[in-house]
Amino acid sequence: MIDDAIRVLAGDCTVIAEGADREEYRGRVTTMVKPDNTVLVHDVDGYQPVAWLTRADSVSSDRADGFALVAKKDEQLLRIATHDQDGFAHYPSSPAGMPVGTCPDCDGALVRSNDVHCVDCGTRYGVPADATIKTDQSNCDCGLPRMRVERGLAFNVCLDRNCESLDDAVGEAFDREWCCPEPDCDGDLRILRRGGLIAGCEHYPDCDTGFALPSGVVDGECACGLPTFETRTGVRCLDATCERAATRSLETEPASDD
């Protein structure tokens, strides 16, 4: 398990980097060890580290052989010895992201990076990559912000899926709404989660027809009988491989006179 802390070593140090070549540096530097074991050694000049090791297999700080820090990855070795140590400490860290609200559990800041998490208590909420977090005053009754997600319709649901389920909302709107297009199959398409949300034939495994629900809003029907979706890049059939769906770029459509 990765320790969610950044380790910092600062002082007058000798830094030895060994791999295909051997390089040695001496100076007052600050070494940062990130939670994924990436080691960065910074001096006063420029933005680039003077030495680094990305995602080391191991990082030890037991002062073995006189070295305050030793990092290894495959045949690469980074060793740091301190002559005059200014400090060595662990600092709590978290992903940084755009503020989207306040945590109802601890009043900490909720921020969005890959997910939405609280900077203080660390509570995390998984969100679809295309979701828009609503930062106005339309919070859920539980205190969390809602997110807007397009899956056939535009749904506004709570960040906490245990509070308001996106799957349930999409299922209520579209479960059995469309027929399976497979010849000689009389099944309806069910809304299911298989990694992401899909519209899959109810007769699975006898019929394995299934389509990933795109990010967009239903705007009509394709010649193949399945719905078309207006997405950010154009209009497409539910079946992404359908050759009968005329995909047009939204950016090239004539402007409305309204």
Per-residue pLDDT reduced to its tens digit, 19-70: 989 999 999 999 999 999 999 999 999 899 999 999 999 999 876 667 889 9
For residues 79 and 73, is the Cβ–Cβ distance under 8 A? Answer: no
For residues 180 and 203, is the Cβ–Cβ distance under 8 A? Answer: yes
Sheet bearing 124-125, strands edge to edge: 98-102, 109-112, 116-118, 124-125
Q: Which amino acid is at 214?
A: P
Ranges of the chain with pLDDT below 50:
1-2, 247-258
pLDDT of residue 4: 81
Q: How many helices (H) and strands (E) does the chain have?
A: 1, 20
Alpha-carbon radius of gyration of the chain = 27
CATH number of 5-92: 2.70.180.20
User: φ, ψ for residue 17 (rounded to 5)?
Assistant: -110, 125
Domain boundaries, the chain: 5-92, 98-171
Distance CA 134, CA 144 (A): 10
The structure's pTM equals 0.71
pLDDT of residue 253: 42
Host H or E run for residue 173: helix 166-174
pLDDT of residue 197: 94
Distance CA 61, CA 78 (A): 12
